[in-house]
Structures are given as C-alpha cells and as structure tokens.
C-alpha cells in the first residue's frame, strides 16, 4: 500500500504517544491551503449517485479494458494512492469494506487538478470522484474521473492496512479497527444480525418488547455489586441497574403476558475475557410458563440467531474450529455432578465443614467466597465442572440460598427450578420457574438483607415496591436472562472486548500511572 505521508511507514506505531506531530502539522497546512484557495475541505454534501457496492453490482461483469458510458459520482475513504506521472491511482473504501479504484489522468482532469490531487490528497481522506465506469487493462473495476473533490480532510494518518493493530489500540480506537480490519466490520454486522434475529423470534412467539429504568433507587434482580451514584434533584443515592428483572415482573403483574427487554446492565465487578462492567443483556418472562418452557424458548432463540447470522447451526469460530448448536442439549444436575467429581456425596443438607474439607483437599481457595452453603457449593462446582461443559449444556438443581427470586423445586427439597446454560465452558444464559408467592419472596429478601449485614456485598435489598406489586397477584411465570456479548462470543469464538463495539477501557493516564508505580 502506498502512503503519501513521507514520514509514515506502513508499520509505524500511531498511538498518541508515538505520533510524529509533524505529520499532523503537514496535514493541517494542507487543510488551510485548501481553505485559502476557496475550497471547502469539509463540504456539507457531495453529489454522490452510487455507493461503491452499487457500482460493483452493476459493472463487475465488464471485461478487462472495457469502457462504459455510465457516469457515476462516488465517495469513499482513501486507503491507497499512487501519485506518479500523468496517470494517478486511488483506492476508495466504504464503511462496509467495499473498495473501488479511481483513475485520474492528465487528459481527463487537466494539469492543475492533477497537481492538486498529488499535493492535497492523503491516506484517510474522504474523496469524491465523478466519471465513467471502466475496467482497467489489468481487470480492476474503476472510475475514470473527470473531476474530484475533497469530501473530508483527515488530519491524522491511518495505520498500515497490512499491519495488525495491537489489541489495546483496536479496543481504544475502534474506529481505526473498523477502517483497517475486515473482521471488526464482520463482527459488528454479525451482532446486528443476531439482534434482529432475537427480536424476530420473540415477535413470532407473541412477546412484547418494553424498556425499564436504568437508574434505580434499589438494585435488585441479580446477585451482583452495583455502581452507586447520587441524584442531586432529590438528594438521594441511586444505583445503575444490575438487571431489569423486578421491573419486567411488574409488567407481568400488569397483564403483559410475554415480555422481553434488550438492555444495558452495569455491575461493579471484575473485568476479564468474559466479563465487562457494562454489558448487553436480554431478559424475557413468559406468563404460564416454567423453567422447562423457557429453556425451549432459549434454545430456539440461540439456534435461530446462529442460523440467521451465519447461515448454519454449525458455526466457524475465530480459531478455525467448528461448533455445533444443533441436536439435543444435555441436562446436568449440579449436586449430582459435584458429588461424582469430588468423590464426596454433596446434598442440600451438606454442612460447611464438609464443604471446607472438599475445598482443602482439592486446593480450592474459599477466602473470598461468602460463607454460605449455596456460595460454597457453586464455587466448588465451578472448580470441578465448569470447563468440562463444551457442548451446549443445561445445569440444574441450584441451592435455594443463592437463588432468592426462584421457585423452590416442586419435587426436590433444598434446590430451586433453575438452570444455567453453559457453552464452550462459560455461562451463557440462565432460566427459572419464577417465585410468585409474595410471602416467600419477602422471606427470601429478608434472608438476603441478613446476608448483606454479614458482609455479602452482592446480596439484594428488601424491595417493598416490588413486593407490593407481587401482592396484587403474579401468574405462574418462566423467566430467562442471557448475556448478548457472551452470545456473540459463543457464535464467533472472540473475547468479550471484541464483541462489544465500544467496550469500557481503563483511561490511558491511569494505566500509565499504574505501570510507573509497578516499575
């Protein structure tokens, strides 16, 4: 790829701390020269007649050297330019990655405009070309320009399109990632297809999409540490929502029988390859359903998303391997599987002393785990079993004390009607037979409040407004929640920061200060 910036080799480090200020100064000088000559470096509009993709669709069948009478006006970002002799070449790229060659000759544009092109156009600029569609002698579909216009002057150079950006740069400057890397654009488009598929499946199942508050006076709907803020108008503390569950259930009480929301949630916890403090979540509630019917719905949602986004239930992951979302999805009991792999029978009645012994014997550090039967069972199960669940698998029979919003199992004492869906070793979704008895719900909330007083910073508070809604009568209901960023991970094999278009990143100044302190 040619580059008109004399001091910008293709493999240059273009992070802010390494960027040569002279490169920006030269481009600013070009901008000013355009303005001084009466040329708008940033026109309001240009007379575009066709997208680059439309030109390809209409004329890709031309033979090498063939010319047409079709005249088009096209615009794109300059990603290649060669400015030698009487014939100059430029490659334009559109937002979807489509590219089209432009040819500027002395005969067509004249000496003055050819010289201006050589002087003023840089990689990264948006350029408008007007001219006939032809196929070059080398078989490249092209616009033989009779005029050109600067559509937007770029003041910073692009990184080399054949040099892979560092992951941190890709995440912090996603716009560069989208310009330079086809996979980044494909991932964004895959995500859009998945969202459309989910909404279509819900529409086919007669679900209604609603919106619930992000700012809440009490955090609830999940066991998680919230972000806290303050509302000056009312002088009260508030929380960014950790889940929309309690408001969606209010809608169920109000008679919206099948309801869902695609939303942003915020949890003030760790950030790693599968967790982000801000993330996209899908929650749905089905009146007169239970955790069996909601499992069927979840499977349908995921399989339809795979089919609609990739064209198959067998998806190709980032590492080139295939993953199959088809067939039957097995069901695993948490207590039975923990007993099998630990070699000790574990039941809902097993005491903490026995769980302590299992942890010690197997090198499981329980130092940061809240001391309760349910928290210990789930921690031990993850140690023994989580990474073994590669195929889509429903895990059932969760402890009562870690599931305060779930109905107790109808036949098994000490567990609830809940499943977690694991895909490729990580949790993708969770589903329940929802607790609808307001008396038991109050008792569960009170137990959570007691845990909070003992130091469990993930425990829920006692939400009187939600209990009041339940006391008006809530029908039997099945509910589910699924992390949409994780769904993209499951479909693509990418990490969570690659599936979120603009993930949260630690500010560079803070990162640099931390590095200096560590050094």
pLDDT tens, residue by residue, 293-352:
999 999 999 999 999 999 999 999 999 999 999 999 999 999 999 999 999 999 999 999
Which residues of the chain register pLDDT less than 70?
1-20, 220-221, 273, 458, 460, 509-519
265 three-state secondary structure: strand
pLDDT, position 517: 42
Among 104, 108, 92, which residue's Cα sits nearest to residue 51? 92
User: Rounded to the nearest 5°, which phi and psi values hold at 509?
Assistant: -60, -45
How would you classify the pairing of strands 87-93 and 141-152? unpaired
Among 155, 132, 159, 156, which residue's Cα sits nearest to residue 144? 132
Among 271, 226, 298, which residue's Cα sits nearest to residue 479? 298
Q: Each residue of 98-137: b (16+ CB within 10 Å) or e?
A: bbbbbbbbeebbeeebbebbeebbbbbbbbbbbbbbbbbe
pLDDT, position 455: 80
pLDDT, position 273: 67
pLDDT, position 456: 76
User: Rounded to the nearest 5°, which phi and psi values hold at 436?
Assistant: -120, 0
Return the half-sphere exposure (C-beta side, CA atoms, 13 A cut-off) of residue 498: 21
Residue that has been written with the tokens 């939600």 in this structure:
466
pLDDT, position 11: 43
Among 253, 248, 256, 276, which residue's Cα sits nearest to residue 264? 276
Is 45 exposed, middle or buried, given 0-12, 13-18 or 19+ CB atoms closer than 10 A? exposed
Return the half-sphere exposure (C-beta side, CA atoms, 13 A cut-off) of residue 459: 23
Q: How far apart are CA 284 and CA 301, in angstroms?
A: 11
As given in the structure block, the two tokens for residue 468 are 């009041």
Instruction: Estimate to the nearest angstrom the gap between the alpha carbon of 147 and the chain centroid.
Output: 41
Among 24, 6, 142, which residue's Cα sits nearest to residue 74? 142
Please, which residues bridge with residue 93 across strands?
77, 99
pTM of the model: 0.85
Residue ranges of E strands in 317-440? 322-324, 331-333, 393-399, 415-423, 426-433
Q: How far apart are CA 178 and CA 158, in angstroms?
A: 12
Contacting residues for 506 by C-beta, under 8 A, at least 6 apart:
none
88 three-state secondary structure: strand
Residue ranges of E strands in 106-227? 126-135, 141-152, 208-209, 215-216
Q: How far apart are CA 50 and CA 73, in angstroms?
A: 6
pLDDT digits (tens, 9 = 90+) for 85-143: 999 999 999 999 999 999 999 999 999 999 999 999 999 999 999 999 999 999 999 99
- How many Cβ atoms sit within 10 Å of the Cβ of residue 320? 7
pLDDT, position 250: 96
pLDDT digits (tens, 9 = 90+) for 494-511: 998 899 888 888 887 654
Contacting residues for 77 by C-beta, under 8 A, at least 6 apart:
92, 93, 94, 124, 125, 126, 127, 179
């Amino acid at each position: 790829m040619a580059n008109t910036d004399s001091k910008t080799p293709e493999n240059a480090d273009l992070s802010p701390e390494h960027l040569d200020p002279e490169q920006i100064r030269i481009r600013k000088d070009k901008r000013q020269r355009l303005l001084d000559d009466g040329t708008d470096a940033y026109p309001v509009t240009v007379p575009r007649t066709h997208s680059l993709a439309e030109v390809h669709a209409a004329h890709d069948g031309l033979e090498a050297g063939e010319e047409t009478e079709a005249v088009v006006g096209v615009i794109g970002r300059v990603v290649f330019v060669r400015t030698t002799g009487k014939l100059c070449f430029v490659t334009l790229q559109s937002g979807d990655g489509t590219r089209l060659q432009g040819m500027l000759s002395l005969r067509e544009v004249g000496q003055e405009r050819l010289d201006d092109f050589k002087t003023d156009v840089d990689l990264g600029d948006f350029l408008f070309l007007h001219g006939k569609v032809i196929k070059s002698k080398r078989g490249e579909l092209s616009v033989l320009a009779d005029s050109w216009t600067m559509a937007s002057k770029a003041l910073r150079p692009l990184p080399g399109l054949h040099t892979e950006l560092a992951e941190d740069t890709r995440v912090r400057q996603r716009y560069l990632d989208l310009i330079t890397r086809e996979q980044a654009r494909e991932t964004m488009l895959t995500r859009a297809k998945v969202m459309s598929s989910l909404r279509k499946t819900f529409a086919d199942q007669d679900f209604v999409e609603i919106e619930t508050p992000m700012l809440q006076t009490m955090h609830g709907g999940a066991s998680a540490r919230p972000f806290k803020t303050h509302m000056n108008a009312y002088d009260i503390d508030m929380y960014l929502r950790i889940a929309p569950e309690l408001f969606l259930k209010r809608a169920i009480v109000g008679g919206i029988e099948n309801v869902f929301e695609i939303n942003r949630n915020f949890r003030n916890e760790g950030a790693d390859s599968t967790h982000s403090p801000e993330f996209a979540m899908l929650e749905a509630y089905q009146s007169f359903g239970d955790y069996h019917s909601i499992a069927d719905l979840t499977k349908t949602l995921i399989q339809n998303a795979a089919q609609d986004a990739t064209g198959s239930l067998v998806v190709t992951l980032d590492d080139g391997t295939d993953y199959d979302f088809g067939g039957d999805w097995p069901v695993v009991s948490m207590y039975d599987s923990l007993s099998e792999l630990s070699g000790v029978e574990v039941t809902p009645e097993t005491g903490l002393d026995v769980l302590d012994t299992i942890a010690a014997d197997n090198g499981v550090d329980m130092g940061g785990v809240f001391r309760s039967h349910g928290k210990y069972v789930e921690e031990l199960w993850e140690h023994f079993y989580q990474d073994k669940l590669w195929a889509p698998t429903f895990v059932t029979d969760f402890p009562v004390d870690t599931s305060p919003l779930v109905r107790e199992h109808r036949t098994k004492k000490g567990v609830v009607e809940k499943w977690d869906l694991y895909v490729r070793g990580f949790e993708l979704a969770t589903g329940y037979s929802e607790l609808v008895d307001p008396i038991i719900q109050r008792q569960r909330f009170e137990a959570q409040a007691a845990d909070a007083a003992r130091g469990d910073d993930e425990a829920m508070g006692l939400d009187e407004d939600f209990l009041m809604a339940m006391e008006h009568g809530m029908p039997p209901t099945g509910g589910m929640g699924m992390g949409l960023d994780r769904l993209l991970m499951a479909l693509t094999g990418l990490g969570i920061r690659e599936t979120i278009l603009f993930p949260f990143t630690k500010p560079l100044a803070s990162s640099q200060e931390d590095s200096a302190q560590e050094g």
